[in-house]
Chains A and B, each alone.
Chain A
Amino acid sequence: MTQPIASGCASVGHTGLTRPVLREIASLLKKLAKTGECDAIDLRSLPMSNEDRYELETALGRGEVHANVMVAGDSEVWETFYPGVWWVRHFGANHEIASETILITDVPDILKSDAEDIKRAAVRLDADLIEKEQGTEKTSDRENAHE
């Protein structure tokens, strides 16, 4: 499978940055486990090559959760092999990676439903149910009229 190209990375071979980033992730994961404090690493802020990113992605592996988020383009969110370490990849124009972050957290905020969105959804679902029920009543009226 062709790996997505990260905007801003050059294919110039390994720079050796993968190991220090892994160590930082390990340290942040320990902190999360001990104190519950979340953190994040913006991969785009680091001078990583494409090869470094592939190496990091391979080292962290994939866990039990993978989600596609379809808003303002596509995003991929997955838990790595290490629970609490999440990879969030946002795509922009031409499916180029616009931002890429390692989140050290129990669950990334982008996977949660927002409180305001939930309120709106509750109102919308009520309205949709009423509309469906009214549609069913009208159909029944038409059926009864023909009998």
Chain B
Amino acid sequence: MSDDAPLGDMLAKRGVSRRAFLKYAAYTASIMALPATSTNVIAQALATAKRQSVIWLSFQECTGCTESLTRSFSPTLEDLIFDFISLDYHHTLQAVSGDAAENARHAAMVENKGKYIVVVDGSVPIKDDGVYSTIAGMTNLDMLNETVKDAFAVVSVGTCAAFGGIPHAKPNPTGAVAISEIIKDKPLINISGCPPIPEAITGTLSYILSFGKIPELDHLGRPKAFFGETIHDRCYRRPFYERGMFAKSFDDEGARNGWCLYELGCKGPVAYNACATLKWNGGTSFPIQSGHGCLGCSEPDFWDMGGFYKPLSTSLDGLGKTAAIAAAAGAVIGTGSALLARRHQENYLKDLADKDEEI
């Protein structure tokens, strides 16, 4: 059966009924924070959609984002995304290599001109004409520009692609930049995180497939469904923060009783992500639930955020006194703490922007 067949027909040929679409639609609606009553619409859209061509480019990355997406041991609901997309190029996963691989990329670009999605993980080095990362004799910069030319949209997966990530950390010897610094003329979605939660990747791709458009994005180009709230906003340890009950060290009474990890460096108040709700490993846990503060890995320059174990109150100049007062008097301030957490984010981003200008 050709790839032009609707997904419904394609799966039916393998004995999978339309119920699979209803189930996947319910799952997608849930993780994308769409109304539960939109399930039928999504299911119908998916069943009649054609398989989406995806070209995945991996640049300065650790492969963690691909690992996040592909961790599955048996055919599951979450695996359906690999039926809905045609992963036409992924030089880490695909069986062919060398010229055959590059020919596959070019063939997919021609066959799906104007309709394929380019997924990128990893940053792109631009210093010294981009020589610090090359694939098949091409710099990452040239490969990106060549591949994106006829794409429908670009999805930057992981903090490295979205914001530069670890390669971009000081002193950034290779001149690593985010994809958005290079691509200016295509719809671009950032799915940040180190790595991103897999549902953020699959949910966004499913949304594009179902609705033919990109989802609503925040000021950093991230889908609001996953990045609309801070970790702090949805953290189950928030009541301890409000009451001023903080762990002071990793093995003290507070840590053992699950108190707030703010004073142990948790960056939850300034980190926008869905870890506190969707969690990791199929909803098993997330760093805070496992006893470690949030690293803020979905935010720009999280490696240069002042130290993983330094509280926000001491990380950034100008915030220290106010934040320290808020942390110590969380119980008194109450809902004011939530407003202060928002203020942390605004000041933090402004501080980063000022520091970038200095560099």
CB-defined contacts of A125 to chain B, threshold 8 Å: none
B2 at the interface (CB under 8 A from A): no
Overall SS of chain B's interface: helix
- Report A44 CB to chain B, min CB distance, Å: 5
| B24 and A72 contacting across the interface, CB-CB below 8 Å | yes
CB-defined contacts of B74 to chain A, threshold 8 Å: 93
Q: Quick one: given A8-B278, A92-B78, are A117 and B18 in contact (CB under 8 Å)?
A: yes
Beyond A40-B36, A72-B76, A73-B75, list 20 extra A-B contacts (CB 8 Å): A5-B283, A40-B35, A40-B37, A41-B36, A42-B35, A44-B277, A47-B234, A69-B19, A71-B19, A72-B80, A75-B23, A92-B78, A97-B283, A98-B27, A98-B78, A99-B27, A101-B30, A110-B19, A114-B19, A117-B12
B282 at the interface (CB under 8 A from A): yes
| B289 and A10 contacting across the interface, CB-CB below 8 Å | yes
CB-defined contacts of B72 to chain A, threshold 8 Å: 93
**Complex interface bits, B1-45 against A, C-beta within 8 A gives 1, otherwise 0:** 000000010001000111110111011011101011101100000
| B23 and A96 contacting across the interface, CB-CB below 8 Å | no
- Report B58 CB to chain A, min CB distance, Å: 24
Other-chain residue from A8, A44, A75, A117 in contact with B17 (beta carbon distance below 8 A): A117
| A98 and B77 contacting across the interface, CB-CB below 8 Å | yes
CB-defined contacts of A7 to chain B, threshold 8 Å: 278-279, 282-284
CB-defined contacts of A29 to chain B, threshold 8 Å: none
CB-defined contacts of B31 to chain A, threshold 8 Å: 44, 99
Interface residues of B (CB under 8 A from A): 8, 12, 16-20, 22-24, 26-27, 29-31, 33, 35-37, 39-40, 47, 72-80, 234, 236, 277-279, 282-284, 289
CB-defined contacts of A75 to chain B, threshold 8 Å: 23
Write the chain A residue with the least CB distance to B80: A72
CB-defined contacts of A39 to chain B, threshold 8 Å: 36-37
Provide the bound-state CA to CA distance between A94 and B20, in Å. 18
Q: Interface centre among B12, B26, B40, B236, by most A CB within 10 Å?
A: B26
CB-defined contacts of B35 to chain A, threshold 8 Å: 40, 42
Q: Interface centre among A9, A75, A94, by most B CB within 10 Å?
A: A94
Provide the bound-state CA to CA distance between A8 and B27, in Å. 13
| B8 and A93 contacting across the interface, CB-CB below 8 Å | no
| A116 and B23 contacting across the interface, CB-CB below 8 Å | no
CB-defined contacts of A92 to chain B, threshold 8 Å: 27, 76-78, 282
A6 at the interface (CB under 8 A from B): yes
- Report A46 CB to chain B, min CB distance, Å: 10
Other-chain residue from B29, B40, B78, B236 in contact with A93 (beta carbon distance below 8 A): B78
| A101 and B26 contacting across the interface, CB-CB below 8 Å | yes
| A109 and B22 contacting across the interface, CB-CB below 8 Å | yes
**Complex interface bits, A80-94 against B, C-beta within 8 A gives 1, otherwise 0:** 000000001011111
Q: How many chain A residues have a CB neighbour from B under 8 Å?
A: 39
**Complex interface bits, A1-17 against B, C-beta within 8 A gives 1, otherwise 0:** 00001111110100000
CB-defined contacts of B236 to chain A, threshold 8 Å: 10, 12, 49
Other-chain residue from A8, A91, A101 in contact with B36 (beta carbon distance below 8 A): A101
| A93 and B36 contacting across the interface, CB-CB below 8 Å | no
Provide the bound-state CA to CA distance between A93 and B78, in Å. 7
| A110 and B37 contacting across the interface, CB-CB below 8 Å | no
Q: Quick one: given A71-B17, A72-B75, A101-B36, are A94 and B30 in contact (CB under 8 Å)?
A: no
Q: Quick one: given A7-B278, A8-B277, are A110 and B22 in contact (CB under 8 Å)?
A: yes
A45 at the interface (CB under 8 A from B): yes
A107 at the interface (CB under 8 A from B): no
| A45 and B30 contacting across the interface, CB-CB below 8 Å | yes
Provide the bound-state CA to CA distance between A92 and B283, in Å. 10
Interchain Cβ contacts under 8 Å between A and B, 14 examples: A7-B278, A10-B289, A47-B234, A71-B16, A92-B77, A92-B78, A93-B282, A94-B282, A96-B282, A96-B283, A96-B284, A98-B30, A98-B77, A98-B282
CB-defined contacts of A47 to chain B, threshold 8 Å: 234, 277
| A72 and B283 contacting across the interface, CB-CB below 8 Å | no
| B23 and A90 contacting across the interface, CB-CB below 8 Å | yes
- Report A136 CB to chain B, min CB distance, Å: 25
Q: Interface centre among A9, A10, A91, by most B CB within 10 Å?
A: A10
| A99 and B33 contacting across the interface, CB-CB below 8 Å | no
Provide the bound-state CA to CA distance between A75 and B23, in Å. 8
**Complex interface bits, A98-123 against B, C-beta within 8 A gives 1, otherwise 0:** 11010000000110011011001000
Provide the bound-state CA to CA distance between A38 and B19, in Å. 19
CB-defined contacts of B23 to chain A, threshold 8 Å: 69, 71-73, 75, 90, 110
Q: Quick one: given A39-B37, A40-B36, A93-B72, are A116 and B18 in contact (CB under 8 Å)?
A: yes
CB-defined contacts of A10 to chain B, threshold 8 Å: 236, 289
| A6 and B26 contacting across the interface, CB-CB below 8 Å | no
